[in-house]
Structure 1
Amino acid sequence: MKSVFAFETPGEGTAYETTAKRLMMRLGSYEVFLRNAFGLTEVPKAVVWTSGDLARDVFGNVPIPAYTREDLIFMCPDQEEWKQIMFEQMDGVDLPEVRSFYESVGEAQLLDILAHELTHHLDLFPDDFEDERTDAIWFEEGMCFYLPRRHLLGDPYFKEVTATERTLYHELKNRYGKHPLDDFGAASYEGTLPSIMFDYWRSFLAVSELVERENGSAHAVFRKYNNWHEEGRELPLTEYFEIEI
């Protein structure tokens, strides 16, 4: 994959070149892992590094400045911008341990987000990028967080981010957790940032629980997921997996 810098003013991207190079090196090792362990065959042509504003309002129309398309990943490399996004998702609740995590996590969070976007390209997810995905998006989103957190970012990070997102989930579930997880879809992005992020947290927590049930085998979870797909998706996926969150 190539790195492409797309900023409004000349030289604006220079400040992020070293960060992008480090992230791409780590992403390359994760790509090899996905090819060997999960059958990744095709990857995007490039990562487009850009500002949060351009990612949200010019290249896309989404509230979060990182997303993937069939041939490109768009990613904001500004750690301070991501830190403010993470603070905003706390929705005004005073959570010192959560704030401390996001203040100190640094570049690992950028790698978490970037690797999440690459994981969407696994063939194990049967939906194509151009498909209108209206059901079970939670499984893909949750697994795209689980795999890099477990296999790239290391056990300490995995434990910390799991504890952080579990805290956020429990603190905000009375505000944003009244709809079924299976309803997570395109309409979710019309809400506030905390309401959007809430579904990402519980998607990750749900997938983590499913993998734990299979003694740590994400492959076993994928097999059940693909059986559900091949059987015609007759049940909501949470009901098929018998999981409530």
Structure 2
Amino acid sequence: MQMKHIYAFESMDEYKKHEDTIQQLCKKLNDYREILEREYALVDLPKGVLWTTEELATTVFSEIPIPAYTNKDLIYMVPDIETWRKIFIKQLDGKKLPHVQRFYENHTESELLIILTHELTQHSDLFLDDFDDEKESGIWFEEGMCFYLPRKILLSEDEFNEITDIERELFEAFKDEYGNHSLKDFGSCSYQGTLSSTMFDYWRSYLAVKFLVEVHANNDIKLVFHEYHKWFKEGKKVTLTEYFDINSLF
């Protein structure tokens, strides 16, 4: 079954404004989908991608503040590059990080693709929690891996290293404010209401998964998934951070 592409815009002009971007993203998403199906257990596709505006994504279809998300049936995605550029800059919460700001101003389009493919990656059967599960112990692993995989597959080595450096810089800039909880308590700072408090655990989870793959497993992604599955099937007797022994690192 192929994914449907559904357009929810309030005018034809709004759709036309983003038509080229959507077409480019659809082609790259399809290429990435084939890799996931072949290598990373993507079996049940979402029924489609719903392309819409930031306003509709965050006030009508959901109250999630970031206008890209997925559920069992649909990926909701905003294709407006200017919207995402503003969101990326807003992550800084007024901190003077000129290198980070320049990166997002110049790489919004590639980051938009990574966000879209992150949402598709969440449908892989390699992740053992269902969409309606609470995912209390392992959500950091899924969220981090869903950024790691598309970046590793779609970006050049230089691009991959650059976004890693950017998110490490953001992690370091905000860890004193938001880093006082365990990695397993993903999202526990989001109640503070700032974009950086929400995004902090995504940056941290990506860096943790990168460490697991490249250091702990010597670049063997499948080995990391094997250990994650073993933890799950043994009954999650300890938290996943304890199982991987990374509590003190992130």
Query: TM-score, normalization: structure 1?
Result: 0.96
- Tell me the matched-pair count: 244
Is 1:112–1:153's contact at 8 Å kept on the other side of the alignment? Answer: no
Partner of 1:98: 100
- Please state how far the C-alpha of 1:189 moved relative to its aligned partner: 4.3
- Please state how far the C-alpha of 1:135 moved relative to its aligned partner: 2.1
- Please state how far the C-alpha of 1:214 moved relative to its aligned partner: 1.1
Partner of 2:123: 121
- Please state how far the C-alpha of 1:132 moved relative to its aligned partner: 2.3
Partner of 1:225: 228
Distance in 1 (CA, whole Å) between partners of 2:236 and 2:114 is 30
Unmatched tracts of structure 1, length 5 or more: none
Question: Which amino acid in the other structure matches residue 236 of structure 2?
Answer: R
Partner of 2:64: 62
Of residues 144, 147, 150, the one that matches 2:146 is 144
Question: Which amino acid in the other structure matches residue 43 of structure 1?
Answer: L
Partner of 1:11: 13
Of residues 232, 239, 244, the one that matches 1:241 is 244
Question: Which amino acid in the other structure matches residue 42 of structure 2?
Answer: L
- Please state how far the C-alpha of 1:13 moved relative to its aligned partner: 1.3
Instruction: Give deviations 1:108-148, integer Å, cap 9, x for gaps.
Output: 11100000000000001111112222222100000000000
Which 4+ residue blocks in structure 1 deviate beyond 4 angstroms?
none
Question: Which amino acid in the other structure matches residue 241 of structure 1?
Answer: F
Distance in 1 (CA, whole Å) between partners of 2:12 and 2:40 is 40
Instruction: Give deviations 1:149-184, integer Å, cap 9, x for gaps.
Output: 001122222111100000000011001111111000
Partner of 2:191: 190
Distance in 2 (CA, whole Å) between partners of 1:126 and 1:151 is 22
Query: TM-score, normalization: structure 2?
Result: 0.94
> Aligned to 2:184, what secondary structure does the other structure show?
helix
Distance in 2 (CA, whole Å) between partners of 1:97 and 1:227 is 40
Give the superposed CA RMSD.
1.2
Distance in 2 (CA, whole Å) between partners of 1:4 and 1:156 is 34
Question: Which amino acid in the other structure matches residue 169 of structure 1?
Answer: F
Distance in 2 (CA, whole Å) between partners of 1:8 and 1:130 is 30
Instruction: Give deviations 1:34-82, integer Å, cap 9, x for gaps.
Output: 1111121111121111111111111111110000111110001111111
Question: Is residue 172 of structure 2 the alignment partner of residue 170 of structure 1?
Answer: yes
Unmatched tracts of structure 2, length 5 or more: none
Report sequence identity in percent: 50
Question: Is residue 51 of structure 2 the alignment partner of residue 49 of structure 1?
Answer: yes
